[in-house]
Structure 1
Amino acid sequence: MAGRSTSIDALRGLAVLLVAQLHFLHITGGYAALGAPAWLQKLTGGGEAGVDIFFVLSAYLLGDGLLARGRDPGIVTTFYLRRAWRVLPMYWIVVFAGFALFGLWMATTGIAGTWLWAAPYPPIVYLLFMQNWAAGVTGAVASWFGPTWSLAVEEHFYLLLPLLTTRLGRRALAWVAVGWILAAPLLRMASEQVATPAAAYYWSICRLDSFGWGLVIALALRAAPDPAGRIRPGVAAIAGSALLIATLAHSDRADAIERALTTSALAFAAALLTIAAASARGDLPSNPLIRALAWCGKRCYSLYLLQMPVLGLTFLAAGYTGPSASVPYGFAIIATAAALTFILADVAWRRIEEPCMRRAPKLSSASAPAAPVAQAG
């Protein structure tokens, strides 16, 4: 599609692959079965940092698009319509398929508590995008629907963002963003006290710093007439990568304070990587790795939504109720699931996502932000 940035797509691709390796190789025990050292297992176990990248990217892209349109008539309505066409079709397909197959599974086997469908919330919870709040209370999610918690967080941000950008000046918006960054670790610690440690991970208010950083980047790059002349993308990329790796390697998340500050550090690392991608423009070298990451980045939404369902279904087809690398032919099953995920994500991109993205702008005469969805999640 016109207007896409290779550097942004490549960062999306990196983010979704961080999450994918977590699901396919870490939670299945793949790294342990391969004899990976403990430090590497700890590092790869932090693959959820890809979600932090998606949150910051989403806030930057959508915030930048709204700032570019200012207070154009109809911008709020058009924004909501475009977000709905971008997010809902694939989301509804995954949720509907999940409950349909869960009903079929229970009707034919009667086996409850499988990895894919362990205690799913009622369908209305997913339709209202409240699953992240429920997960913060229960501390558990059904794996089929697991990735949708981050979509719920983003939907809450989508509802708020255009109201802020059309009613606040840029200086006031900057103060709001900084306030979010400062308040988020305190909200995470408080949420652990009033609910569970999971609340600090899942609840929308506990992720405000990621969205705050995205808005700060959008405002800063809008204010700088020549960001490429002020920011060295390579320096920002190295700094962000180093901070991300150091945080994952050294944080034990042993108590509420350390957990809260770890998330803050990961959000800042994601912000540095977003600055690098946003500032790169045409400076990114074209090589097979970048092209592969950008390919994944374009399909990151479906890759993110489909990887857990496909992983679980592939193991079910092989006769196992949950994924594990230690079962006979475990790695072959994992490889098959990964390949199927990429194939299905490509089909979903071409047949569902891209057609909906082309259709969305026709819904209103007002021009809306051109940024595609930033998450995988």
Structure 2
Amino acid sequence: MRFYRKILESEDAGRAASKSTHTLVNLQVLRALAASSVVVAHALHETGTLAVATGRAVVDGSAWNLGFGVDIFFVLSGFIMTHTTASEFGKSGASLRFFLRRCARVIPLYWLLTSVMLLGALAAPSLLAVPIGSLSHVLASYFFIPSGRGVDEIRPVLALGWTLNYEMLFYVFFAAALLLPIRLGILWLSVLMVGMALVGRLIDPQHVQIAFWTNPIILEFLFGVYVALIFRSGARIGGGWALGLVAIGLLGFVHVSTLWNDAALPQFLRSGVPAALFVLAAAIGPMLPQRRPVLWGVALGDASYSLYLVHPFVLRPLRAIWEKVIGAELPLGLFVVFATLVAAMFAKALFRYVERPLTSRVQGLALRSPRSKQTAAAPLSRADTESA
């Protein structure tokens, strides 16, 4: 409970504080859910190798779309960026301050873990499923430029960083939108992103970067922008309606039929719309009860960026240990549970002792001006600090 009280004390007084606190709790739990689903998906993938080595049955996760967590992250990003900067549109210097905040938030841990990956590749290249690639690919990875890796795969050195390539593209567009008053800025952002998505659907770009950046998945950020506008309009719903939205949103987690999969529907519809419903329910629905599972969810939500980026460094060694120590003694479903819990604990430690102090240090250097410090105190500022 002390952790929860700390959250409450960090918010401004009055109605704005109430809105921010309630939204922060719900969104942090949702962020924990999103990161955990990605971890479970990759843990399930590791059971394929373990099944061959141990003779145990592989855990079949084909009925679940556990990569859905990425779609939730994209919608959350659009929501938080819009809500935390709504009062900054059209203000002098707001665009630069926003972009510096986001770079200070995203880059330090990503660069650190990318460097760890490179050092690991130099020390033991045989452990890598896909070679690191050329120097140009390495540089592109550090600077969030899509680059080919292997056969028909556009991923950076730290493979999960492909989502950050989309995040940084959105930050650039959003920073430009902040140059305008909010209505014009949102309109400009909408036209630009819809236009790019249409280009990606109507033509077949041969250029790697254009093909990547025009993927309609970028519209998921836009969904989050409009969810934030709904939230800021004052719209609120009761628990029953919120549960209804969540129930429909659960369609994003399952493969219902051949008519509801990524082959029949583009991802921004198949997964992006359900993700937007999850975020909408979290934003305008009632606050989750102040019980221990919720507090654990908030704590894991704080560490969700660490969890998302670091869990591959945890799962692979755990797979090797499980193979040597446990072998065929236990069903592989227990490996998924065990690996997910260990990854969560490791991520919490990384967040506390590395990510948070490192990010705080870089943000202090990037946002030295008094005006920048004042802007950082906007509603949901902690959510902005913890988001990725």
- 1:227 correspondence with 2:235: yes
| Deviation per residue, 1:73-94 (Å, 9 max, x gap) | 3222221221122111111111
- The amino acid that maps onto 2:34 is A
Maintained 8 Å contact 1:209/1:264: no
SS across alignment from 1:249: coil
Residue in structure 2 matched with residue 165 of structure 1 by the alignment: 178
Secondary structure in 1 matching 2:316: helix
Residue 177 of structure 1 deviates from its aligned partner by 2.7
Give the partner amino acid of 2:312. Answer: M
Q: State the Cα distance separating 1:244 from its structure 2 match.
A: 3.5
1:57-106 C-alpha deviation (Å, 9 max, x unpaired): 00110111121223333222221221122111111111000010110003
Match of 1:306 in 2: 310
Q: State the Cα RMSD in Å.
A: 3.7
Tell whether the 8 Å contact from 2:38 to 2:70 is kept in structure 1 after alignment: yes
| Cα distance change on mapping 1:188 and 1:307 into 2, 3 Å | farther
Using the alignment, how far apart are the partners of 1:180 and 1:209 within structure 2?
7
- Alpha-carbon deviation of 1:174? 4.1
- Corresponding position of 2:216: 206
Alpha-carbon contact 2:177-2:185 (below 8 Å) kept: no
Q: Secondary structure at the match of 1:258?
A: coil
Query: Corresponding residue for 1:103?
Result: 122
Distance 1:213 1:167, change over 3 A: same
Q: Secondary structure at the match of 1:372?
A: helix
- Corresponding residue for 2:141? 126
Q: Which amino acid aligns with 1:124?
A: L
Q: Which letter does structure 2 place at the counterpart of 1:21?
A: V
Q: Distance in 2 between matches of 1:120 and 1:11?
A: 33
Cα distance between partner residues in 2 of 1:317 and 1:80: 42
Indicate the residue corresponding to 2:62 in structure 1.
42
- Equivalence for 1:349: 351
Aligned residue for 1:6, secondary structure, equals helix
Letter in 2 for 1:134: G
Q: Using the TM superposition, name which of 65-74 and 208-217 deviates more.
A: 65-74
- After TM superposition, the structure 1 = structure 2 runs for residues 320-339 of structure 1, keeping only pairs within 5 Å, are 331=332, 337-339=339-341
Q: Which secondary structure state, in structure 2, belongs to the residue aligned with residue 363 of structure 1?
A: coil
User: What TM-score does the superposition give when structure 2 sets the normalisation length?
Assistant: 0.76
Q: Is the 8 A contact 1:89 1:352 kept in 2?
A: no
Q: Secondary structure at the match of 1:268?
A: helix
**Does 2:74 correspond to 1:55?**
yes
Which runs of no fewer than 5 residues in structure 2 stay unpaired?
Answer: 1-6, 12-20
1:138 counterpart = 2:152: yes
Distance 1:293 1:220 in 2: 25
1:265-280 to structure 2, matched below 5 A, reads 265-280=270-285
Q: Deviations over 1:27-83 (max 9, x none)?
A: 5349996676x7xx3332x11111000000001101111212233332222212211
Partner Cα separation in structure 2 for residue 278 and residue 264 of structure 1: 20
Could you list the runs of 5+ residues in structure 1 that have no partner in the other structure? none
Q: 1:188 to 1:308 in 2, by over 3 A?
A: farther
Q: How many residues align?
A: 349
> SS at the partner of 1:166?
coil
Work out whether 1:28 is the aligned partner of 2:33.
no
Paired residue type of 2:245: A
Q: Please, which moves more after superposition, 11-20 or 66-75? A: 66-75
Query: 3-state DSSP class of the match of 1:28?
Result: helix
Q: Residues 327 and 152 of structure 1: is their aligned pair in 2 closer, same or farther, counting only changes over 3 Å?
A: farther
Name the CA distance, whole Å, in 1 between partners of 2:94 and 2:41.
38
Give aligned-pair identity as a percent.
Answer: 23
Determine if contact 2:31/2:301 at 8 Å carries over to the other structure: yes
Displacement of 1:206: 2.5
The residue type paired with residue 42 of structure 2 is: H
Preserved CA contact (<8 Å) 2:173 2:189:
no
Task: Return the match for 2:245 from 224, 239, 252.
Answer: 239
Match of 2:294 in 1: 290
Contact 2:63/2:255 (CA < 8 Å) preserved in 1? yes
